[in-house]
Structure 1
Amino acid sequence: MELSDGHLVPAAPDGSVVWDIDPYDAGILGNPEPYYAELRSRGPLVYIPRYGILACGRYKETREIFGDWKRFVSSRGVGLTDFKYNAHWREPSIVLEVDPPYHTKTRTVIARALSPHAVARLGTAFREAADKLIDELIDRGSFDAVTELAEVFPTTVFPSAVGLKEVHRRYLVDFGSLIFNALGPDNDLRRRALAAAPDIVAWIQRQCSRDQLEPEGFGATIYAAADSGELSEKEAGMLVRSLLSAGVDTTVTGIGNAIWCLASHPGQFAKLKADPSLARPAFEEVLRYSSPVHSFCRTANVDTNVSGTDIKEGTKILCVLGAANLDEAHWENARTFDIERRPTGHLAFGTGVHGCVGQNVARAEVESLLAAIAAKVRSIEIEGEPVWRPNNAIHALDRMPIRFTAN
């Protein structure tokens, strides 16, 4: 078999649906819902010849493939590149891009650092920061929901939680965007991201060393595992890097998407104001409805079969989480944004052993912010057309001018 974008290109499975589409086209990335619907309508798995991959967008198959680490591995890369045949542009993540048993060791340490108890201790600081920021934005009048809200809040509270001594807001946000764009094919998005990588990555690497971290925080807990012999010093630094690669941009995206959802559905915002305890379920519905991470890959590590489709070892499978989270066969009124839905089982944070280890932190951050907005803001008005930022793995706003009207 030939290689394309760093992975094997198998022939289309017998009897499979072949769809000549580019899921990484900028137009699709900016407005993915028609693509999601068409992908689901074509079958449980679809062969995309442009990249020699299978794609799944129905909930059942996406959950099966995404959650079965034995047949469909992450250790061969969660993007199009197959690490079995091509080196990654950087050292792979020792949480996201490994499988058990090694994954068990590293995840145990990072989960300890991000434990519910550790996150709960940050609740007061998160809420105080949220109250302060929302007060400032109300006074400001019009502002950009992305650069002045969604990017500001996580880069205010999360670096402190990690224990960073130095904060560079732009590098923290752009590092996550770089990581996710690098998961795609050799397109303009990936090339531009990698061109900006040297300065960003060099700064990030410096912040991950022990001497750049405060003696308390998530980073210190990780380095304590190196002191006890659970990890090497290098592995500890790489786990801190994982916090910075996945803990900022995804939360920025989630916040931006939450503001867009609530502003676009004023009736739902009214529900949140009437009952601020809906802040957590509101965020869960934002995650399901807007899927900040729209797609991740898995690699078939054995010959196998899913829903009648034979899958050869080495096949890359694009798990389209955004499509699965809007699957009408699984979610009643899937295209309706309803903060009272309680969408248990959505795939926005993954599933199984590779479920997002930092999801409790993201939930705590966004819940604090939504609670502050519900308490202080009477209405959210969009004052210009929202613009979405194409990314090979993230569905994120680029800008959205809005206005908060105070109670």
Structure 2
Amino acid sequence: MTLPHRAARQRPAAPAGAGGAASRMAAAALAAGLWLLAPGAVQAAVLDCELNGRSVNPSDGGSTAGKTGLMRCRHRDTGELQREQQLQNGVFMGLVRFYEKGKLAREHIVNAAGNIHGPAREFAPNGRVVREAVYDDGQERGLVRSFYPGGQLRRATFYPALGTDRPFVEFTERGQLSGLRCGEAPMLAPAVDDAKLCGFVGGPSQVELFDARGILRSRLSYLAGKRVRSQSFYDNGKPSVQDEIAGNQRTERHFSSEGVKRRETVWLLLERSAVKQREQEFSERGTLIRDQRWNSAGMPIGDDSYYLNGQPRAKSAYSGSGEARTVEITEFYDSGERAAKGRFKAAVRGRQVPIGTHQRFSEKGTLLAESIFDANGRITRERSWDENGELLSDDEVFEDGSRKAFVQ
């Protein structure tokens, strides 16, 4: 009996008498993701299948109904074994094996519902195991491991029966650690000693991660499964990002490829969130060019900027709360002399609205201009002076923008 076959991974269609068990089995295998690491599919072929020495057609339920045994399917032209599947009383249940070029590529067991249940393995052409897992009714459980063709451990992941916590560890082909995520407790033994790697014993751990070329990419420190410090690196070995936790404070630093700190951010760690407390930006030379600060509620309390020569460019100081919140902004010349100042409404929502008296000065400190705003941000009076302090104009400003000389 012949069977049209499109790919080595495709299972035979469900026999009519089997109640679609084979179809459920195929869907479960795909859903479980077992085939993601499998070798590529072969070209379309025609298979000949036999069970207990007799030809059968898995797509014809009549040929397998009520039968028990191990069905084998071979490539018609080459005679190479393609797959083996157990039947129990006409239902595809038990061992399933797939072959590539006559060599075992993967195997697992399916239950009566057609779901993978129990151990499952995949193999390299040299016969080494490249993946091994245990399934519970279609779901991966416990330690799942994958390997390089040479036999070195590539990745180990723990799938718990409850919850979503999935710690893992990854290695390069050189055997160097390349990735790590810790769980709430040690779970990755015997693949690795994550009790030590994740800081569950002996205090904070010190972990180094490498890329495939053997270049150091990051240093990590864990305590009781929580990452408390990390540092990543550029190709030249200079630090790229540092991230550390001390008490209820988290600090993150970013560096240029020359090793110059460009930004530092500090957060206050709360039970389920983090509130930014301070952020500083630095020039390519490492000089401070901006310094922002927030209170524990996340409201801004200061925002200062600087020229590259170190002199202040602008300073913003916040005060009050709610709708009465204001910010006073002072601007400076690069000489350090005051250039302008003014107050604004700084409610939580909405744009800043100028209020009160706003002034601009010369670099010598002489008052040059003054604008007065009402509580709604409308300008009501404007005055200007020359460099010698002589009054040039003094106007009253009306709602429509027209003006006239101010009269006492």
Which has a greater percent of strand? 2
Which has a greater percent of helix? 1
Q: TM-score normalized by structure 2?
A: 0.16
Which gives a bigger RCO, structure 1 or 2 (Cα 8 Å, sep 6+)? Answer: 1
